[in-house]
């Protein structure tokens, strides 16, 4: 399912870089974006981000979030390495 089907707007995509201060996102969404950014840049979560996540998610959901983010990062690195074109969602 695409982000658009889940209600993600183009405006939200454009605002991801400033999600912490954007009124377009809920606290939960800001926390997920912060976690995904940390995992992408450092492959770890800071204690403060982990504690923020625990306000919204149980242990199973946290594992799913980390695994799904890691899989997305792996996919991006492989497609980038081979300079592969990714087909757009239809």
Q: Quick one: pLDDT at residue 89?
A: 60
Residue partners of 24: CB distance under 8 A and separation at least 6: 9, 11, 12, 15
Percent of the chain with pLDDT over 90: 84
Is residue 89 assigned to a domain?
A: no
CATH assignment of the domain containing 17: 1.20.1290.10
54: number of Cβ within 10 Å: 13
Q: Quick one: pLDDT at residue 1?
A: 67
Is residue 87 assigned to a domain?
A: no
CA distance 73 to 88: 18
CA distance 8 to 24: 10
Q: Quick one: pLDDT at residue 2?
A: 74
Q: Quick one: pLDDT at residue 4?
A: 81
Q: What is the pLDDT of residues 12-48, one digit of tens each?
A: 999 999 999 999 999 999 999 999 999 999 999 999 9
């Amino acid at each position: 399912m695409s982000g658009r089907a889940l209600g993600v707007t183009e405006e939200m995509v454009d605002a991801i870089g400033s999600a912490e201060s954007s009124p377009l996102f809920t606290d939960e969404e800001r926390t997920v974006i912060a976690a995904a950014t940390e995992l992408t840049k450092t492959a770890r979560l800071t204690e403060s981000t982990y504690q923020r996540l625990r306000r919204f998610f149980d242990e199973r959901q946290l594992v799913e979030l980390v695994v799904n983010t890691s899989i997305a990062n792996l996919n991006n690195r492989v497609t980038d390495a081979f300079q592969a074109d990714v087909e757009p969602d239809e």
